[in-house]
Amino acid sequence: MGTMRTGRTPPRVGDGPFFRRILIGIVLILGAFLILAPLLIIGVEAFAKGWQVYRDTILHPDTRHAIMLTVLTALVAVPVNTAFGIAAAWAVTKFDFRGKAFLLVVIEIPFSVSPIVAGVAYLFVYGLQGLFGPTLDAYGIKILFAIPGIILASMFVTAPFVARELIPLMQSQGRDLEEAATSLGASGWRTFFSVTLPNIKWALLYGVVLCNARVMGEFGAVSVVSGNIRGQTNTLPLHIELLYHDYQAAGAFASASILALIAVFTIIAKVALERRGAGRVRPAVNPAEKTA
């Protein structure tokens, strides 16, 4: 027997050392310039004028209000979209009905439509010159340039997130588990909480995390419907833009660092959830098992 030659892989197309170095080099350089550098700049610029300025910006009433408004928007939009996402995924994957394909397309629309378009559409529907604007105005209900408009626009943009995570998973799981639970005497609610939810929980959490990140970061649609009233209808992304245009670069970067921090937490949560979802914690949660 000769010496063992382990760790050798047969050459594949484009696997030459020259090609490999070039490719890895390009990816590294582009990654550094496109993603890493801007993120670093945020951190550096936020503290460019010292800790005191950073603290003042964060504690400024307008910034605090913007943070509060962003959190409030998320607190309303995320649960509503989670409920919508579960309901939509359930309807699409567990029932047969006419217009199912159409519903799938409708769910996807906010992904393909530019957020600005969504914002403008809201103007046309709820604005004073719009469809329901005069009626709402007559009753003293203010939607546009107020918090309801911001929440509605955020919900529109992020509507697909949870549903998109759940639909493929629930499709692969089929209806057998729910049918088994009902045949054993479980009610609809019991079936959902004891059987459906435990099998989709990681995908659901992942969808919620992504949805939350997008709600907090949404700029386009919100900027159209909010009216940019400082201290009243400014969310964090809008506040950043305002500070930047006021030549308060340090303030803008300080506020941006908060959003960046949220993004970093989102990524960490996402990775953690994906690991659990992949079944590393409990061997049993494995939808692929069924087809094996």
Partner 1 sequence: MKIRLDHVVKTFQTFRAVKDVSLEVQSGELVALLGPSGSGKTTILRMVAGLEFADGGHIYFGDQDATDIPVRDRGVGFVFQHYALFPHMTVAENIAFGMDVSKVKREKAVIQARVTELLRLVRLEGLGDRFPAQISGGQRQRVALARALAVDPKVLLLDEPFGALDANVRRELRRWLREIHTTLGITTLFVTHDQEEALDLADRVVILKDGHIVQQGTPEAVCRDPKSAFVMKFLGDANMLSAEVRDGRAYADGAVIEAAGLADGKAELYARPGDLDWVPQGGGIAATISRVMDRPSGRRVIATTRSGVHLELDLEAERTVKSGENGFVTLRRAKVFPV
User: What does the binding site for partner 1 look like in residue numbers (CB under 8 A)?
Assistant: 176-177, 179-187, 190, 194-195, 198-199, 282-287, 289-290
- State which residue, 245 or 282, has the beta carbon closest to partner 1: 282
Report the C-alpha gap between 78 and 108 in whole angstroms: 17
Residue with tokens 């949404």: 218
Report the C-alpha gap between 64 and 70 in whole angstroms: 10
Residue type, 276: R
Alpha carbon 17 to its chain centroid, in Å, reads 39
Closest distance of CB 169 from partner 1, Å: 13
Closest distance of CB 285 from partner 1, Å: 6
Contact between 117 and 189 under an 8 Å Cβ cutoff? The reply is no
Nearest C-alpha neighbor of 258 from the set 235, 242, 231, 275: 235
Closest distance of CB 180 from partner 1, Å: 4
Report the C-alpha gap between 134 and 29 in whole angstroms: 54
Closest distance of CB 90 from partner 1, Å: 17
- State which residue, 200 or 238, has the beta carbon closest to partner 1: 200
- State which residue, 189 or 247, has the beta carbon closest to partner 1: 189
Sign for the pseudo-dihedral over CA of 163, 169, 172, 175: negative
What the block records as the tokens of 283 is 């061997």
Closest distance of CB 177 from partner 1, Å: 5
- State which residue, 49 or 94, has the beta carbon closest to partner 1: 94
- State which residue, 199 or 223, has the beta carbon closest to partner 1: 199
Nearest C-alpha neighbor of 214 from the set 130, 153, 292, 286: 153
Residue with tokens 């394909």: 101
Closest distance of CB 143 from partner 1, Å: 42
- State which residue, 20 or 190, has the beta carbon closest to partner 1: 190
